[in-house]
């Protein structure tokens, strides 16, 4: 096994860009990743590309070779689909490929174009990440599904809308200096509480937006980085993946996310660390309750204690364990097929010290990225560390 380094990261602006095509978005992210890495495109041996709803949003299947062309690489290319965890899975397979010695240079990431659809079309496209037979057909949407999870959590552990409002306010504050964020707008706890309901107990600022965007990362082996004198100080030292039952009705407990539990345990074991070693995290906060569930699955809080973490300042920018310094999905945006790659890019920038929020974690050495699909029927966790 060989060590895996993040040689370069590339992101597009996240937001509403309906006039742009998916291939245009991914080409921009890839170009930035190659420039950041200082790696020639001809060196790429594989492309792992995440996309969820391109067949619906752009009427375009078979996207992997299309995105290889857009990125300017000629190599085996594969599209990965795991709902909102699509790029996370693509990254995981890239890391495993390099670690196994099967390739020295792999390009990974993802793209989603969503705002060219109207609200009904985007809702329908996202809904297919749920169980069509037992959930979608009954009219369940993801705001409704996460509302069920939030209510189950409140019933089991207590807490309420005020604690969720602190999560929203924190992440909007973190997004303010992030040049890639969709919403660089402060939202107070009071504003979040006063926002209109989407699906009780979730209101407008509890939900992430519909977003266009792309992410790309160049992963290289330690040997390749050394031989080519690359400045690649961040290593991916752990990766894990988990799966749960698709339909909420089939789960024993709606107030926990076993897929993320399993992914975190595997990633920590792979890296040889534990939750107490982590200095910062980017987690999948598609809804504010999702951040609460994520930090509990990652072992940063005991079951029932995650709800108060933002309110009590533990996960704020200057807290014990800053969570979502990028702004998270909540404020940075959520182009679903690109999100998992974006999280890796943000953790890398934070650990390298070139993120606008790096000053909050100047001594950080270990970061975690948590990417989830659907109602966390899929989960991928990665551990990144500053290499010695």
Exposed, middle or buried, 133 (CB in 10 Å: 0-12/13-18/19+)?
exposed
- 334 annotated active-site: yes
Q: How far is CA 352 from CA 96, 217, 228, 313, 346, in A?
A: 22, 15, 19, 24, 10
Cis peptide before 363 (omega within 30 of 0): no
Residues in Cβ contact with 238 at an 8 Å cutoff, skipping those fewer than 6 apart: 266, 267, 268, 269, 270, 271, 272, 273, 381, 382, 383
CA separation for the pair 227, 258 (Å, rounded):
41
Handedness of CA 172, 177, 179, 184 (dihedral sign): positive
Q: Mark out the alpha helices in the chain (DSSP H runs).
A: 22-37, 54-57, 63-71, 86-99, 119-127, 142-157, 161-175, 189-194, 222-227, 258-271, 288-297, 328-332, 339-352
Catalytic residue among 84, 172, 284, 286: 84
CA separation for the pair 243, 378 (Å, rounded):
5
Exposed, middle or buried, 101 (CB in 10 Å: 0-12/13-18/19+)?
exposed
Q: Residue 26 has which token pair?
A: 């991914």
- 208 annotated active-site: no
3-class DSSP assignment, residue 258:
helix
Residues in Cβ contact with 303 at an 8 Å cutoff, skipping those fewer than 6 apart: 157, 255, 256, 296
Strands 46-50 and 280-282: unpaired
Q: Are 185 and 330 in contact (CB under 8 A)?
A: no
Catalytic residue among 166, 203, 284, 334: 334
Q: Mark out the alpha helices in 272-337 (DSSP H runs).
A: 288-297, 328-332
Q: How far is CA 21 from CA 172, 205, 206, 208, 250, in A?
A: 27, 28, 29, 22, 38
* Tokens 């209101």 -> residue: 203
CA separation for the pair 378, 52 (Å, rounded):
13
Q: How far is CA 345 from CA 32, 151, 164, 368, in A?
A: 11, 33, 26, 11
Give the catalytic positions in this structure. 84, 334
């Amino acid at each position: 096994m060989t060590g895996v380094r993040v040689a370069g990261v590339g992101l597009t602006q996240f937001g509403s860009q309906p006039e742009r095509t998916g291939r245009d978005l991914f080409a921009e992210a890839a170009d930035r990743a190659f420039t950041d890495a200082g790696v020639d495109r001809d060196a790429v041996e594989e492309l792992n590309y995440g996309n969820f709803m391109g067949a619906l949003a752009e009427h375009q299947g078979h996207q992997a070779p299309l995105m290889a062309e857009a990125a300017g690489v000629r190599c085996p290319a594969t599209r990965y689909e795991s709902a909102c965890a699509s790029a996370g899975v693509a990254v995981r397979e890239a890391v495993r490929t390099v670690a196994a010695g099967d390739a020295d240079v792999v390009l990974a990431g993802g793209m989603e174009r969503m705002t060219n659809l109207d609200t009904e079309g985007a809702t329908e496209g996202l809904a297919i990440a749920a169980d069509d037979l037992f959930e979608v057909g009954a009219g369940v949407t993801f705001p409704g599904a996460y509302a069920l999870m939030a209510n189950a959590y409140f019933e089991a552990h207590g807490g309420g809308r005020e604690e969720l409002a602190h999560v929203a306010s924190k992440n909007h504050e973190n997004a303010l200096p992030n040049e890639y964020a969709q919403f660089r707008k402060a939202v107070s706890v009071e504003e979040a509480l006063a926002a209109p309901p989407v699906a009780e107990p979730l209101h407008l600022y509890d939900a992430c937006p519909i977003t266009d965007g792309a992410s790309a990362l160049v992963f290289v082996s330690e040997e390749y980085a050394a031989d080519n004198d690359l400045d690649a100080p961040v290593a991916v030292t752990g990766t894990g993946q988990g799966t749960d039952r698709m339909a909420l009705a089939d789960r024993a407990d709606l107030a926990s996310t076993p897929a993320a539990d399993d992914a975190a345990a595997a990633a920590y074991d792979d890296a040889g660390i534990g939750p107490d070693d982590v200095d910062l995290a980017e987690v999948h906060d598609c809804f504010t309750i999702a951040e609460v569930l994520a930090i509990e699955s990652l072992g940063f809080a005991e079951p029932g204690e995650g709800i108060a973490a933002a309110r009590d300042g533990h996960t704020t920018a200057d807290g014990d364990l800053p969570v979502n310094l990028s702004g998270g999905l909540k404020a940075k945006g959520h182009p679903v097929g690109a999100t998992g790659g974006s999280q890796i890019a943000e953790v890398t920038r934070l650990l390298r010290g070139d993120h606008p929020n790096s000053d909050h974690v100047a001594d950080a050495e270990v970061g975690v990225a948590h990417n989830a699909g659907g109602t966390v029927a899929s989960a991928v966790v990665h551990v990144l560390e500053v290499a010695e």
